[in-house]
Amino acid sequence: MAYTQAYSAYKETGVKTASQGKLLLMLYEEALRRLDTAISLFTNEEKIEAASIEKFHNNLVKAQEIITELMVSLDMEKGGEIARNLMALYSFFNRELMDICINHSREKLHSVRTMMNELFGSWSIAVTETPSADPSAHPALDING
């Protein structure tokens, strides 16, 4: 019990102290994890067993919620064409996931997962290669006046 609480506190602190770039990557990682879980529920016959349908659905809904969060985080004014293209992609992902919830298409699910993973890779490069804010750009408060 104490371990679970400690882990939750650690995880919460990690989220609260993460940079915007790291938060973005964390959202992608969780969405990919949810899509992987949904994919793992398919049987060899490309079906979802009745006992796994709720878990399948819940994982896809969580992935949609994460994608929706990515959509709302876009700054359409400053982001220009890139933001518009990401919005279109995120909308596409959510429509596909809604269809997958209904029709249980493993092929479509793999396709969405592959595209999300490619975006994750691009964001990972952007986040790691973008220099952090220069501390001298925001000098510390001078209490001496």
User: pLDDT of 33-50, one tens digit each?
Assistant: 999 999 999 999 999 999
Question: What separation in angstroms does the CA of 136 have from each of 55, 83, 87, 124, 129?
Answer: 49, 30, 34, 26, 20
* Residue-averaged pLDDT of the chain: 85
In sequence order, the 6+-apart residues with CB closer than 8 A to the CB of 35 are 59, 60, 63, 109, 112, 113, 116
Residue with tokens 């995120």: 90
**Residue 16 near residue 8, CB atoms below 8 Å:** no
Number of domains, the chain: 1
Q: What does the pLDDT profile of the chain (145 residues) look like in tens digits? A: 665 655 455 445 544 556 889 999 999 999 999 999 999 999 999 999 999 999 999 999 999 999 999 999 999 999 999 999 999 999 999 999 999 999 999 999 999 999 999 999 999 999 998 876 444 444 444 444 4
The answer to whether residue 99 sits within a structural domain is yes
- pTM for this entry: 0.78
Specify if 110 maps to a domain. yes
Query: Does residue 26 belong to any structural domain of this protein?
Result: yes
- Identify the domain containing residue 26 by its residue range: 19-128
In a domain, 12, yes or no: no
Residue 141 included in any domain: no
pLDDT for the residue 130: 81
The answer to whether residue 9 is domain-embedded is: no
Burial class of residue 67 (count of CB atoms within 10 Å of its CB; 0-12, 13-18, 19+): buried
Q: Is residue 135 part of a domain?
A: no
